[in-house]
A and B are shown apart, each in its own frame.
Chain A
């Protein structure tokens, strides 16, 4: 069995924007092993959600995708695919806002049963049974009763569980998660992360989890990809990235939120704000906000360079901030 499940090479997404075009995702390459959880971190506008949506073919109309996307439907090596090959057959997605992502005119049980009915041709009764079983699986109390409810009758945490059940209904190999816990309270977020971790280990599913919150990604993912302004600027195993970031942006992201465990005197933060995709700065796109920036940062061609077998960085001056006290 080939170990790779998904390969994305040099992904470029172009969108029309008021007469001009913008490239919010510009040369992203990722790979994902079977059973692996990859976290994509980045702020709004970094292109992380578009990258995720391109994998399952949910880009807005008018989007133009270049690059190579490969997915392994069977045990063989990943092959190029069309979105319709994986819908209901290999890749599912869950979204940030469980209220707007669930069809308000369908009962919860029917929502969950829809996938198996369409893709597996399950009859009404069997699909309903599958729905109830899935609802129990994701920890929804009283699933028989709740299956007859409408999405608006459920709390945010339960809705997110319904969405997860919907995603699992077609037995995917890859679950894409687009900030599924951002709209939830900490205690519910904690429950959902525990559930995802549990589902993943028991079903052997792969996960790509997109979030702006590095700590959340760290709880679930073995590997991280940090995105900034449409590019992946650093990849590596989670622990390694946390203990010694190889890109100034990663470091800045970690130090700009108050840490729960440590009392820091003053937060570093990052000067300025993320660049507008209509006018990305030349060279390294983070250079204008980077406190280690050198003169040649604005000139060098951006490239993600491996620094070890498992890690790579887009920073050309790692020597400036590596080995310095933190």
Chain B
């Protein structure tokens, strides 16, 4: 039996600059590969975190799975059914996304009720006479008072808006919920309730949750499994507990070292990771992390490592990931 969500060799490219100019100069078309051959599978109810720095392709991956950007190659399957960029309404419904900035992703001129009921009507989720009831239920689901249905987003606080964003995604009764930096724009004190809400929704509704963030600590809190991305590639794919106890990819280790920790004073001039990621248009040869990698060897410049390991959720793309220290049992 195939997996519930299956992503195979997913590649997304964007045309940057003039294709004509490139052709006249006899160069290949100026394509930027934002997501470069990502493969993973997830079961119903899984919670997968995707982490990486800006520009690593994590949001593009999310958009490709949701159907918001066209896929260059590779395949996506949900429950055995292909997810194409152009989807039938019934398929579209099954993967929904919550966006980072709740103030710019909600239509400011619609009341919350209009926003939700429009979705319910267009997708015929419930009979027309039940739409109003369903709106109320959705508000309860995201722990908002029903009377807020009558207001517009401008009147809501950041945390409330993000809950509306979640309600809007849940209105279509999706199987997969993708949260793209869903708490990054929120104040510290209101992040926790939104994270707790996502956790409880996943448990109660049996959602498959993909949580995308640059913040390892947040991902650790909501995800059972983490995929670390660097320049369009998955460099490590592990269960959360294993990843944090024993990171195998040097990039993961550097990210963890760079995260600020309570009560640890910074030494002058100290930093975990030197330099900046290279441009995705001019990738280094071999392993793309090798120019910044503290353990890079000759083989790293020659050959790009595969994402491999003892099991599908024990994978790392480093020539030395499973060496010396042995394969975890």
A-to-B contact residues, CB < 8 Å = 43-44, 155, 157-158, 185-191, 193-195, 197-198, 200-202, 212-216, 218-220, 238-239, 242-243, 252-254, 256-261, 263-264, 266-271, 273-274, 289
Contact = CB atoms under 8 A, between A and B. Distances in A.
Contact of A256 (B157, B192, B256): B192
A280 to B, nearest CB: 16
Contacts of B221: 258, 264, 267
Given A185-B53, A186-B53, A186-B255, A194 B188 contact: no
B258 interface: yes
Interface of B: 53-54, 157-160, 187-193, 195-196, 214-218, 220-221, 241, 244, 254-274, 276
A108 B130 CA distance: 61
Contacts of A157: 276
B53 A256 contact: no
A212 B188 contact: yes
A257 B264 contact: no
A220 B266 contact: yes
Contacts of B259: 186, 190, 260
A260 B276 contact: no
Contacts of A263: 220, 241, 244
A185 B54 contact: yes
Contact of A44 (B187, B260, B276): B187
B218 to A, nearest CB: 5
A269 B191 contact: yes
Nearest to B272: A190
Nearest to A184: B54
Contacts of A261: 261-262
A157 B257 CA distance: 18
A197 to B, nearest CB: 5
A218 B190 CA distance: 21
B267 A197 contact: yes
A257 B192 contact: yes
A43 B258 contact: no
B178 to A, nearest CB: 20
Which of B188, B266, B272 gathers most chain A CB within 10 Å?
Answer: B188
Contacts of A216: 260
B272 A258 contact: no
